[in-house]
A and B are shown apart, each in its own frame.
Chain A
Amino acid sequence: AQRVTQPEKLLSVFKGAPVELKCNYSYSGSPELFWYVQYSRQRLQLLLRHISRESIKGFTADLNKGETSFHLKKPFAQEEDSAMYYCALTSSGGSNYKLTFGKGTLLTVNP
């Protein structure tokens, strides 16, 4: 069975500090990994996906297949980064719109 674990329900950092949101997964096969974000009073939206290998709003995430992890990192947190972050996976290829989500990490960036 596929599973996504986000060990931290809450994470609080100060503005300008580095931030790392952890995500570990369990999946037999080749998964596609995503980070979704939900800002206050906004809808859930894609932040980044591992296949794009891009940096969005200063965030990056590297897929580590050996450690089955996909941690989200940002070197200098901003107050506007405060939001709920969800790690998610789906199977690569084919009809694969079934996203398995972690339970989320609420990030608070303090001034």
Chain B
Amino acid sequence: KAGVTQTPRYLIKTRGQQVTLSCSPISGHRSVSWYQQTPGQGLQFLFEYFSETQRNKGNFPGRFSGRQFSNSRSEMNVSTLELGDSALYLCASSLPGGSTEAFFGQGTRLTVV
């Protein structure tokens, strides 16, 4: 079974630009969550999607948005990039139901210059 796939693996963007990251969950997983990982703040929850609906949202500005498609693939978008948005963005997928295991992708390393 293929794992969670994130593309691209690396990105370099300029301040003010926008970026779209993609996540393909494990087949059959309908929940997709996004996390930002930085050395200073660690892993922070961005948002979670289930059946194309955002169910949970973390404490991030509106520049961070996401969506989920009918095939459960998810994208997150960051507009008007700031230097502080440089981070590793991780996607995780889970089976529906209670507190189940989150399977993580390898992440997209975003560098804003």
- List residues of A whose CB falls within 8 A of some B CB: 32, 43-46, 49, 51, 86, 90, 92-104
Contact = CB atoms under 8 A, between A and B. Distances in A.
B102 interface: yes
B56 interface: yes
Q: Interface residues of B: mostly helix, strand, loop or mixed? A: strand
Interface of B: 3-4, 31, 33, 35, 42-45, 48, 50, 55-56, 58, 90, 92, 94, 98-99, 101-107
B45 A99 contact: yes
Q: Interface residues of A: mostly helix, strand, loop or mixed? A: loop
Contact of B58 (A46, A98, A104): A98
A80 B10 CA distance: 28
8 contacts: A44-B104, A49-B101, A86-B42, A92-B98, A95-B50, A97-B33, A99-B92, A104-B43
Given A51-B99, A92-B99, A97 B48 contact: yes
Contacts of B42: 86, 101-104
B102 A97 contact: yes
Contacts of B104: 43-45
A95 B101 contact: no
Nearest to B94: A97
A101 B43 contact: yes
